[in-house]
Amino acid sequence: MVDRRHFIKNIAGGLAALGGLSLLQRSDLAAATGTGESLVMDTLPGKEALIKKTFRPPNYETPVSVFEAPFTPNKLFFVRYHNAVIPEAKISEWRLSIGGDAVHTPFELTLEQLRKDFEQIEIAALCLCSGNRRGLFEPPAPGLQWGSGAMGNALWRGVRLKDVLAKAEIDPSALEVSLAGADSGVLPTTPNFVKSLPLTKALDENTLIAFEMNGEPLPHWNGYPARLIVPGWTATYWLKHLTAINVISKPFDGFWMKTAYRIPKDRFPSGQFGSQETETHMPITEIIVNSLITNLADGQTLPHTQSIEIKGVAWDGGDGIARVEVSTDGGNNWQQAKLKQDYGRFSWRQWQFVFMPQHPGQYRIMARATSHSGATQPLEPIPNPSGYQHNAVQKITVNVA
């Protein structure tokens, strides 16, 4: 469990650090996303300036400098939607329906019942878009050209999905759990964003229906009044604005499972979601090991008379980070960075490394993370048609003068 006093102090510190930045400075810091795109900073109601990718549907990423705080402030948390119609929830009318052909007792919940009728828990977990860093693939992959900011680390509070499903009395025929939200497309032909989970993942003790984020009610743009939290899996399963949960006896065959968010089986480990796999493809599931430098940008100039602090974050799908190594000479030599506080296996882990440049010139800085399972970042990203899971070792050049 995360200590609340320490947590609130970290959030406040992160906001204070950002509060003094002008819009131009924030744009400069956002250049660390590394896509080479012309960056546009914009705001949504209730949010501070984020990097705008699309306005309709709203897709905004977080400037990398924000990630120097252990938890990403709600007002600076990234926004990701596939559909453009995102209704404002009226709590007096909102209901979460629990049903499906593989339950014996379907029912509905109000938000008050969800909060009061089940045990509440908190978990620190990274929410990471499957396409984070898509804009760094060469050759380019189709889709939103995300930099490194389509992610955020937060403390989520809610109830276990398995506790809610237990009240519905699951039938032995149950195979998957489908999840639907309130957002929809402009055209009636646009497929609703409906996902499913294998029953085992839905019943995992860490899978939550959350109604709080960083000690506050969920922001509208991040799923108010309730969303699914699937720690260790990519954010495509973290359904926002939940309205319906159905336990089903057959594989869900909607567009967002059957066609979208799929990856080749020959390039990634399989076995996480067998009912949705084919001979060649499978749905993307768990987050793979990765890291990011948060305080330096490619091409930055630094004074050679001072030591250089390199800071960053590292993460994986839940095995936990064993070590982070840093190279300042293009990968010829590696030294271990210092890992900072551990907030839990689904949270990212901050790290830092300090070195003293021996002379002016260019320094090629690289960072790579290794998980407790032994998985390590590759030097090059794993090619796949949709540009998912970019986890190559980050490489930046700084000028010391």
- Assign 26 a pLDDT band (cuts: 50, 70, 90): very low
Evaluate whether residue 139 is within a structural domain.
no
Q: What is the distance between the alpha carbons of residues 179 and 40, in angstroms, rounded to a whole number?
A: 33
Q: What is the pLDDT of residue 27?
A: 34
pLDDT at 51 over 60: yes
The reply to whether 40 falls in a domain is no
159 within 8 A of 119, measured Cβ to Cβ: yes
Q: Is the dihedral of CA 318, 335, 309, 133 positive or negative?
A: negative
Cα distance between residue 140 and residue 130, in whole Å: 16
- Residue 241 belongs to a domain with what CATH number? 3.90.420.10
Q: Are residues 202 and 279 in the same domain?
A: yes
Question: pLDDT-derived band of residue 34, with 50, 70 and 90 as boundaries?
Answer: low
DSSP percent split of the chain into helix, strand, coil, nearest 5: 15, 30, 50
Question: End of a domain among 283, 314, 345?
Answer: 283
279 and 224 fall within a common domain: yes
Q: 248 has which bridge partners? A: 176
Going by pLDDT thresholds of 50, 70 and 90, the confidence category of residue 401 is very high
Residues 274 and 317 in one domain: no
Confidence of residue 39 (pLDDT cuts 50, 70, 90): confident
Q: Which two tokens stand for residue 104?
A: 């014996």
Average pLDDT over residues 112-126: 98
Round to whole Å and give the CA distance between 11 and 70. 8
Identify the domain boundary among 229, 253, 283: 283
pLDDT for residue 9 is more than 80: no
Q: Is the predicted pLDDT of residue 310 greater than 90, yes or no?
A: yes
Residue 81 lies in a domain: no
Per-residue pLDDT band for 96 (boundaries 50, 70, 90) equals very high
- Specify the DSSP class assigned to residue 208: E
Alpha carbon separation from 24 to 21, 69, 76, 170 (Å, rounded): 8, 20, 16, 54
Residue 114 has pLDDT above 60, yes or no: yes
Does residue 29 surpass a pLDDT of 90? no
Do 314 and 361 have their domain in common?
Answer: yes
41 has a pLDDT exceeding 50? yes
Per-residue DSSP letter, 186: S
Token digits of residue 263: 């990856």
State residue 325's pLDDT score: 98
Q: What is the CA radius of gyration of the chain?
A: 21
Beta strands 242-248 and 96-99, pairing class = parallel
pLDDT greater than 70 at residue 62: yes
Q: Does residue 24 have a pLDDT over 50?
A: no
Alpha-carbon gap, residue 64 to 152, rounded angstroms:
10
Q: Classify 176 as helix, strand or coil.
A: strand
CA dist 206 and 136 (Å) reads: 31
Whether residue 328 is contained in a domain is answered as yes
Q: Are residues 265 and 297 in the same domain?
A: no
Q: Average the pLDDT over 20-41 and give the result.
A: 50
pLDDT digit string, tens, across residues 348-374: 999 999 999 999 999 999 999 999 999
End-to-end CA distance of the chain: 45
Q: For residue 343, what pLDDT is reported? A: 98
Do residues 269 and 214 share a domain? yes
Q: Number of structural domains, the chain?
A: 2
DSSP 297-357: -TT-EE-TTS-EEEEEEEE-SSS-EEEEEEESSTTSS-EEPEE-----TTS-EEEEEEE--
Question: Average pLDDT over the chain, rounded to whole?
Answer: 92
CA dist., res. 322 & res. 318, Å (int)? 11
Residues 200 and 320 in one domain: no
pLDDT of residue 25: 36
In a domain, 237, yes or no: yes
CB burial of 178-213 (b: ≥16 within 10 Å; e: otherwise) equals: bbbbbbbeeeeeeeebbbbbbbebbbbebbbbbbbb
Q: Which residues are bridge partners to 42 per DSSP?
A: 50
The string of pLDDT tens digits covering residues 120-167 is 999 999 999 999 999 999 999 999 999 999 999 999 999 999 999 999
Q: Check pLDDT > 90 for residue 251.
A: yes
Mean pLDDT value across residues 285-310? 96
Cis ω for the linkage preceding 198 (within 30 of 0): no
For residue 35, what pLDDT band results from cuts at 50, 70 and 90? low
Domain boundary among 237, 266, 283: 283
Check: CB of residue 178 under 8 Å from CB of residue 245.
yes
Of 29-33, 185-189, 272-276, 346-350, where does mean pLDDT reach its minimum?
29-33
Structure tokens at 276: 């949705």
Task: Tell me what the mean pLDDT of segment 278-289 comes to.
Answer: 97
Range of the domain at 248: 96-117+156-283
Q: Closest Cα to residue 223, out of 239, 243, 245? A: 239
Q: The tokens 């009061």 sit on which residue?
A: 116
What pLDDT is attached to residue 3? 56
Q: Which residue has the tokens 């090059």?
A: 380
Residue 37: predicted pLDDT: 60
Q: Please say if the pLDDT value at position 16 is more than 50.
A: no
The answer to whether residues 294 and 275 belong to one domain is: no
Q: Which amino acid is at 8?
A: I
Please check whether residues 112 and 230 belong to one and the same domain. Answer: yes
244 within domain boundaries: yes
> What is the secondary structure of 23-73 as a DSSP string?
HHHHHHHHGGG-S-PPP-EE--TT---EEEEETTTTEEE--GGGGGSSS--
CA 81 to chain centre: 13
Q: Does the residue 260 lie in any domain?
A: yes
Q: Residue 83: how many CB atoms within 10 A of its CB?
A: 18
In terms of domains, do 237 and 102 share one?
A: yes
> Is pLDDT at 22 greater than 70 in this prediction?
no
221 and 103 together in one domain: yes
Token pair, residue 228, equals 């699914």
pLDDT digits (tens, 9 = 90+) for 189-213: 999 999 999 999 999 999 999 999 9
Tokens representing 328? 């300042």
Helix (H) or strand (E) holding 147: none
Tell me whether residue 384 is in a domain. yes
What CATH number should be reported for the domain holding residue 312?
A: 2.60.40.650
pLDDT digits (tens, 9 = 90+) for 205-250: 999 999 999 999 999 999 999 999 999 999 999 999 999 999 999 9
